[in-house]
Chain A
Amino acid sequence: MMIYFKNALTRKNLMALTGLFLSFFLIIHLLGNLQLLLPEKEAQLQYNLYSHFLSGNIVIKLVSYVLYACILLHTLDAIYLGIKSKKANGPKLSRDRRSRASTWQSRNMMFLGIIIFLFLVIHFKDFWYHYKFGELPHDENGNKDLYTLVVNAFDSIWYVILYSVSFLALGFHLLHGVASAHRSLGVYHPFYSKLIRILGYLFSILITLGYLIIPIIIYIKH
């Protein structure tokens, strides 16, 4: 049993599964967030209702625990594997041009991951924490007015830039991560492997664009 946890291959499986779940979550989250782009009045009510629905539903609540677990496991795994890699590398190369053989993002998943993680900390603190534990005014339907909190936050250009950079980091992380996760889980057929890579690219680009336009449009609109 111990070896199961110590084993890099199973660790990578866990990494892949949690990563894929998080990727799936990104779709749902994006669909929800796109409501922010509806005409203002409609957006406010709709978005607040949606948030209320999410926070009240027991199933969603369970899913959200899975989500937190995934983020945690994905991060812990990354740290574990990072340390392992460092150990395995032994003495450093004095001149290193190995990078010519691989893509930039595939070599910098850790770095990208750190950006995403830091972003998550800020993101959670500013919205999730506020919504859950902070005092928020209510909209006319009596739901907590998360919409206004969000829209006001993106008044600041710095905040928009912070988000944009984080989304780009996320995009590159996905560009490698989605296809790589399938490999780690064992998709070895050349055709499907290629297909997944192409779909993975498409997915990453669409998700990134989707997330990117939201703060930018809100900023421009206001």
Chain B
Amino acid sequence: MKIYLKIWRQKDNHSKGCFKDYTVDDVNKDMSFLEMLDTLNLKLVKQGERPVEFDHDCREGICGQCGVMINGIAHGPLKNTTTCQLHMRSFKDGDTIYVEPFKAAAFPIVRDLKINRSALDRIITSGGFVAVDTGQAPEANSIPITYQEAESAFDSAACIGCGACVASCKNSSAALFTGAKITHLELLPQGQKETHVRVTEMVEQMEKEGFGHCSNTEACQVECPENISVLNIARMNYEYNKSKLLVKK
């Protein structure tokens, strides 16, 4: 297969970026999208050019490090799939593919397709944890959690933190990411205790990081590699309102 690429090149967050045209000739349909970029980079390095910088690590869809806009869609045409799990069989010979970084004010560009997502870390830092020190834990089975509770908590906990929800959102909102963590911990008795502090802190941090608001377009769930439900956002709203209106300080 022959693939034409238009790739966003940008030296750093302060410089201006632009699309550059590349052609990759020997693309195999079983290649992953990132392996196709590897092939291009090998070619570029051999020509003495700077290779395209992009984020990636585990390449099996779980670490959440990879992620680019492919033809204007976060993680590319397949729904609920990370960039590394996208394979070239999703494209046709002769296709032109636009590759851009995830763009949001809270995700500054490091170089080319590489971005800085530490804003998401800071949201977790603000309250996305159970405050338990090592050694304090009681016997595991002393807190029964039903099968359904555990399963729904897992559904929310499955988030890989890739930021595709932010990139897919027309408002660059991190509501799905934040909502999923709040819901995950709220659904378990261990985490419930701190919900009202957690939800206030996390929502405020989300605000400080400059993420936008959620207008319930639900695009985030469609592109989320883990198909995290938008109802997690509603849950966050509920918990937030509850903690503001009903919980005594």
- Measured CB to CB, the residues of A under 8 A from B are 3-4, 6-13, 81, 84-85, 87-98, 100-103, 106-107, 109, 176, 179-180, 182-190, 193
Q: Are A7 and B234 in contact (CB under 8 A)?
A: no
* Contacts A101-B222, A186-B235; A180 near B207 (Cβ below 8 A): no
Contact present for B239 and A186 (CB under 8 Å): yes
How many A-B pairs fall under 8 Å by CB?
Answer: 155
A126 to B243, CA, bound (A): 45
Which chain B residues lie closer than 8 Å to A103 at the CB level? Answer: 217
A12 touches B212 (CB 8 A): no
Decide if B74 touches A180 in the complex (CB within 8 Å). Answer: no
Chain A: minimal CB distance from B211 (Å): 6
Question: Is there contact, CB below 8 Å, between A101 and B234?
Answer: no
Query: Which chain B positions have C-beta within 8 A of A188?
Result: 183, 231-232, 234-235, 237-238
Find chain A residues with CB under 8 A from B241 CB.
13, 185-186
Docked-complex contact A98 and B168, CB < 8 angstroms: yes
CA–CA, A188 and B171, complex, Å? 21
Closest CB pairs A-B (n = 7): A186-B238, A88-B212, A97-B72, A90-B105, A8-B213, A101-B222, A101-B219
Q: What CA separation (Å) do A85 and B212 show in the bound complex?
A: 5
Task: Tell me which residues across on chain A come within 8 A of B31, comparing CB atoms.
Answer: none
Pairwise interchain contact B237-A106, C-beta atoms closer than 8 A: no
- Kindly state the interface size class of chain B when it binds its partner: 35 or more
Q: How far is the CA of A101 from the CA of B220 in the complex (A)?
A: 8
Central interface residue in B171, B217, B223, B230, by most chain A CB within 10 Å: B217
Which residues of A are found within 8 Å of B168, using beta-carbon distances?
Answer: 98, 101
B173 within 8 A of partner (CB): yes
Residues of A contacting B204 in the complex (Cβ-Cβ under 8 angstroms): 3, 7
A179 to B219 CA separation, bound complex (whole angstroms): 15
Q: Is B33 an interface residue (CB 8 A)?
A: no
Bitwise, B197-229 to A at CB < 8 A (1) or not (0) is 000000110010011111111111011000001
- Extra contacts, 12 of them, besides A88-B106, A106-B218 (Cβ < 8 A), are A7-B204, A12-B237, A13-B241, A88-B211, A89-B103, A95-B69, A97-B71, A98-B74, A98-B167, A185-B241, A186-B235, A193-B234
Chain B CB count within 10 A is highest, among A98, A180, A190, for: A98
CB neighbours (8 Å) of B244 from chain A are 4, 10
Give A6 to B206 CA distance when docked, in angstroms. 12
Contacts of A193 in B (CB 8 A): 231, 234
Question: Which of A12, A90, A96, A176 touches B104 (beta carbons < 8 Å)?
Answer: A90
**What chain A residues lie within 8 Å of B113 (beta carbons)?**
none
Among B213, B219, B222, B242, find the residue whose CB has the most chain A CB atoms closer than 10 A. Answer: B213
Q: Are B104 and A109 in contact (CB under 8 A)?
A: no
Contact A89 B212 (CB under 8 A): yes
- CB pair B105–A87 under 8 Å, yes or no, is yes
Instruction: Give chain B residues whose Cβ lies under 8 Å from the Cβ of A89.
Output: 103-105, 170-172, 212
Given the known interface contacts A7-B207, A92-B103, the answer about A85 and B238 at a Cβ–Cβ threshold of 8 Å is no
A151 to B203, CA, bound (A): 51
Query: In the complex the two chains form, is B212's CB within 8 Å of A102's CB?
Result: no
Are B237 and A95 neighbours in the complex by a CB distance under 8 Å?
A: no
Residues 144-197 of B contacting A (Cβ, < 8 Å) = 167-168, 170-173, 183
- Output the nearest chain B residue to A87 by Cβ-Cβ distance: B105
Most buried by A among B19, B183, B235: B235
- Interchain nearest-CB distance for A220 vs B (Å): 38
Counting chain B CB atoms within 10 Å of each CB, which of A9, A11, A100 scores highest?
A: A9
B4-18 at interface with A (beta carbon < 8 Å): 8, 17
